[in-house]
């Protein structure tokens, strides 16, 4: 998976890997980290990760620069992402997490827009159709992982724009 | 021992009992004997012989020759002119002193011991007293030289004069403010603060307007020589500098480090120049910065930390050490 991922300038800046004590500086630093995590996971199509993986991943470990973000600081970055709605812990012990480069609500909006545009309100879809169907090939949410999709649909459900139902071989959704 | 007369041991008519001592033995020369008397008029003088291992304490009584009309005693003649009285149970008599046994005897022993200890201590400190006297002489000497310089007496060149003056500055102060002169407490600290302002002006200017309190402590106490300041006194005096509107002030950094800086010194402005220095070099540790600027590492670190606090620098903390970089987080998009 050797992507031509473009690392941001901070990635080559040693202080990036030290949690800054100055509050204003730290704010900027964390914002940069959040953005980096999301773009990294988006490019590598990584929707979930464990903390252990994260520690050793080039994301937090710049081998060339000989700098690693310490695990306590990684936790702080992940917490920031959670607060922003881009991360969800998958277990109580906070060892693995779901990472969503777009928030579920944002995905929900995109999906609903496509549904409305194509005049398919009141239609029923299987989850698979939505993410892997021919009709959605050009859509951004094509190929979206199921966990994220579910959360997107749950967000729409909250807004009474959709309902998650059970179909013959799994789950589906009805749009209103 | 022919000075003795036999006696019954009972008092004669014109005699009164002054003191009585148990456990006393009379020796005729070196030989032990029994109940006898010696007239007090016969005694020339008395001396003590201290007790030793296996030897009891003794009183040696030196006697006049026997008068011709002496009463009969155990001996008609003796070659010795003294007798020794041995005391097995302590409490030997001193002429004229009321002796005592028991508790008073113990008390007296303690008193003697205390006097002995006192003497030992005094002897031990004799050297220190001598040192103090010498130090006083040195201060006097430097004062007299200072005066000579002032009056331009003696053959000293301009350079030497200046040099000597600087030695004096770092070495001697006349009349150090002492606790005795002013008592302890605020009054003392106020006076001390004023004196400090005088002493520290020049050294501070030499060192770029700022010195750590430990540096100040060393400098001031070296100059005083005697009547050294305790750290508490120094700190308390320094706390009053600003209140007394003196040209220096005490400043405490977040880390707890205390410094004295000239009122004219603006540490915040120094930060701007620190940023320039760091930017030029890309990044610097406290030690590297200290070396470049010619500061102590302690003060260099404080300046860098202040720059970080103000948002001009950020840090890189790794196994390689603590380095400071320009804060690109803020300056770059």
- Predicted-complex ipTM score: 0.86
Q: Determine the Cα–Cα distance for residues B309 and A25; give it in Å rounded to an integer.
A: 10
The pLDDT of residue B213 is above 70 = yes
CATH number, domain A102-173: 1.10.10.10
| CB contact at 8 A, A26 and A19 | yes
Q: Residue B143 phi/psi, 5° resolution? A: -65, -45
| CB contact at 8 A, A32 and A10 | yes
Percent share of chain B, pLDDT over 70? 75
H or E element, residue A133: none
- Please tell me if residue B233 touches chain A, with a CB cutoff of 8 Å: no
pLDDT band at B140 (very low <50, low <70, confident <90, very high): confident
The CATH homologous superfamily of the domain defined by A7-97: "Winged helix" DNA-binding domain. Chain C. Domain 1 (1.10.10.570)
Q: Domain segments of chain A: what residues?
A: 7-97, 102-173
The pLDDT of residue B186 is above 60 = yes
CB distance A25–B283 less than 8 Å?
no
pLDDT band at B136 (very low <50, low <70, confident <90, very high): confident
| CB contact at 8 A, B212 and B297 | no
Of how many residues is chain B composed?
333
Percent share of chain A, pLDDT over 90? 70
Average pLDDT over residues A78-101: 94
Chain-centre distance for alpha carbon B2: 60
pLDDT band at B34 (very low <50, low <70, confident <90, very high): low
The pLDDT of residue B99 is above 70 = no
- Cβ-based contacts of B314 with chain A (< 8 Å): 15, 18, 20, 22, 25
* pLDDT-wise least confident of A147-156, B30-39, B176-185, B202-211: B176-185
pLDDT digits (tens, 9 = 90+) for A26-66: 999 999 999 999 999 999 989 999 999 999 999 999 999 99
Residues 6+ apart with CB under 8 A from B28: B1, B4, B74, B75, B78, B80, B83
Bridge pairing between strands B258-262 and B210-212: antiparallel
Tell the burial category of A130 from Cβ atoms under 10 Å away from its Cβ (0-12, 13-18, 19+): buried
Nearest partner of B326 among A36, A15, A23, A22, judged by Cα: A15
Max mean pLDDT among A106-120, B124-138, B277-291 falls in: B277-291
Nearest partner of B140 among B174, B166, B170, B164, judged by Cα: B174
Average pLDDT over residues B146-151: 68
Smallest Cβ distance to A25: which of B283, B317, B329? B329
- Please tell me if residue B328 touches chain A, with a CB cutoff of 8 Å: yes
What's chain A's average pLDDT? 91
The pLDDT of residue A108 is above 90 = yes
Question: How many angstroms away from the CA of A112 is the closest CA of chain B?
Answer: 34
The pLDDT of residue B170 is above 70 = no
- Cβ-based contacts of B304 with chain A (< 8 Å): none
| CB contact at 8 A, A152 and A130 | no
Bridge pairing between strands B248-252 and B258-262: antiparallel
* pLDDT-wise least confident of A89-93, A146-150, B43-47, B324-328: B43-47
Question: What pLDDT is stored for residue B271 in this prediction?
Answer: 92
Question: What pLDDT is stored for residue B166 in this prediction?
Answer: 62
H or E element, residue B27: strand B24-28
Calculated CA dihedral for residues A55, A58, A61, A63, nearest 10 degrees: 140
Smallest Cβ distance to B314: which of A15, A32, A66? A15
Residue scoring higher pLDDT (B280 or B82): B280
The pLDDT of residue B41 is above 60 = yes
Smallest Cβ distance to A29: which of B309, B311, B329? B329
Question: What pLDDT is stored for residue B311 in this prediction?
Answer: 94
Q: Determine the Cα–Cα distance for residues B37 and B49; give it in Å rounded to an integer.
A: 21
Check for a shared fold between A7-97 and A102-173: yes
B52 three-class SS = strand
The interface residues of chain B toward chain A in range 240-299, judged by CB-CB distance below 8 A, are: 283
Max mean pLDDT among A111-125, B152-166, B203-217 falls in: B203-217
pLDDT band at B125 (very low <50, low <70, confident <90, very high): confident
* pLDDT-wise least confident of A70-84, A90-104, B94-108: B94-108
What's chain B's average pLDDT? 79
- Cβ-based contacts of A66 with chain B (< 8 Å): 318, 320
Average pLDDT over residues A9-22: 96
Q: Determine the Cα–Cα distance for residues B265 and B248; give it in Å rounded to an integer.
A: 9
Question: What pLDDT is stored for residue B176 in this prediction?
Answer: 46
Percent share of chain A, pLDDT over 70? 98
Residues 6+ apart with CB under 8 A from B251: B258, B259, B260, B261, B267
The pLDDT of residue B96 is above 50 = no
Average pLDDT over residues A157-165: 91
Q: Determine the Cα–Cα distance for residues B150 and B159; give it in Å rounded to an integer.
A: 14
| CB contact at 8 A, B212 and B258 | yes
- Alpha helices of chain B — where are they, by DSSP H? 103-150, 158-171, 179-182, 186-206, 213-224, 231-239, 267-281, 286-293, 297-309, 328-331
| CB contact at 8 A, B325 and B314 | yes
Nearest partner of A129 among A96, A92, A174, A161, judged by Cα: A174
* Half-sphere exposure for A77 (CA within 13 Å, toward CB): 28
Average pLDDT over residues A124-134: 88
CB distance A25–B311 less than 8 Å?
yes
The pLDDT of residue B174 is above 70 = no
The pLDDT of residue B178 is above 80 = no
How many beta-carbon pairs below 8 A join chains A and B? 48
The pLDDT of residue B183 is above 60 = no
């Amino acid at each position: 998976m050797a992507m031509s991922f473009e690392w941001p300038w901070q990635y080559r800046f040693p202080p990036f890997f030290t949690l800054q004590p100055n509050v204003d500086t730290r704010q900027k630093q964390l914002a940069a980290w959040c953005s980096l995590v999301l773009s990294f996971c988006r490019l590598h199509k990584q929707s979930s990760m464990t903390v252990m993986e994260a520690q050793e991943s080039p994301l937090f470990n710049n081998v060339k620069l000989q700098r690693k973000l310490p695990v306590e600081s990684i936790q702080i970055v992940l917490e920031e992402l959670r607060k922003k709605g881009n991360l969800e812990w998958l277990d109580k012990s906070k060892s693995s997490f779901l990472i969503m480069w777009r928030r579920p609500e944002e995905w929900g909006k995109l999906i609903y827009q496509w549904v409305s545009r194509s005049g398919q309100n009141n239609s029923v879809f299987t989850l698979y159709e939505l993410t892997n169907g021919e009709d959605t090939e050009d859509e951004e949410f094509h190929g979206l992982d199921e966990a994220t999709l579910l959360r997107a649909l749950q967000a729409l459900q909250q807004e009474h724009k959709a309902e998650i139902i059970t179909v013959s071989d799994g789950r589906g959704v009805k749009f209103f | 021992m022919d000075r003795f007369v036999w006696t019954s041991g009972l008092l004669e008519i014109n005699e009164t009992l002054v003191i009585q001592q148990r456990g006393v033995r009379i020796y005729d020369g070196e030989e032990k004997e029994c109940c006898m008397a010696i007239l007090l008029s016969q005694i020339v003088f008395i001396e003590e012989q201290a007790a030793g291992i296996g030897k009891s304490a003794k009183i040696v009584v030196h006697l006049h020759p026997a008068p011709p009309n002496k009463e009969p005693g155990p001996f008609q003649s003796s070659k010795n002119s003294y007798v020794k009285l041995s005391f097995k149970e302590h409490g030997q008599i001193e002429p004229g002193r009321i002796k005592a046994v028991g508790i008073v005897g113990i008390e007296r022993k303690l008193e003697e011991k205390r006097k002995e200890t006192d003497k030992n201590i005094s002897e031990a400190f004799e050297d220190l007293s001598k040192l103090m006297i010498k130090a006083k002489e040195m201060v006097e000497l430097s004062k007299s030289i200072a005066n000579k310089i002032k009056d331009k007496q003696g053959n000293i060149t301009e350079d030497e004069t200046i040099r000597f003056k600087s030695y004096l500055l770092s070495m001697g102060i006349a009349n150090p403010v002492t606790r005795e002169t002013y008592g302890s407490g605020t009054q003392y600290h106020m006076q001390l603060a004023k004196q400090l302002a005088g002493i520290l002006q020049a050294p501070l200017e030499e060192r770029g307007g700022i010195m750590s309190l430990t540096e100040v402590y060393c400098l001031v106490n070296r100059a005083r020589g005697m009547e050294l300041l305790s750290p508490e006194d120094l700190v308390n005096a320094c706390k009053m500098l600003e209140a007394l509107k003196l040209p220096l002030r005490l400043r405490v950094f977040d880390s707890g480090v205390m410094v004295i800086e000239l009122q004219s010194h603006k540490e915040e402005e120094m930060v701007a120049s620190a940023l320039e220095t760091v930017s030029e070099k890309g990044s610097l540790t406290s030690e590297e910065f200290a070396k470049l600027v010619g500061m102590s590492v302690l003060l260099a670190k404080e300046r860098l930390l202040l720059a970080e606090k103000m948002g001009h620098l950020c840090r890189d903390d790794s196994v390689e050490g603590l380095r400071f970089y320009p804060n690109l987080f803020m300056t770059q998009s």
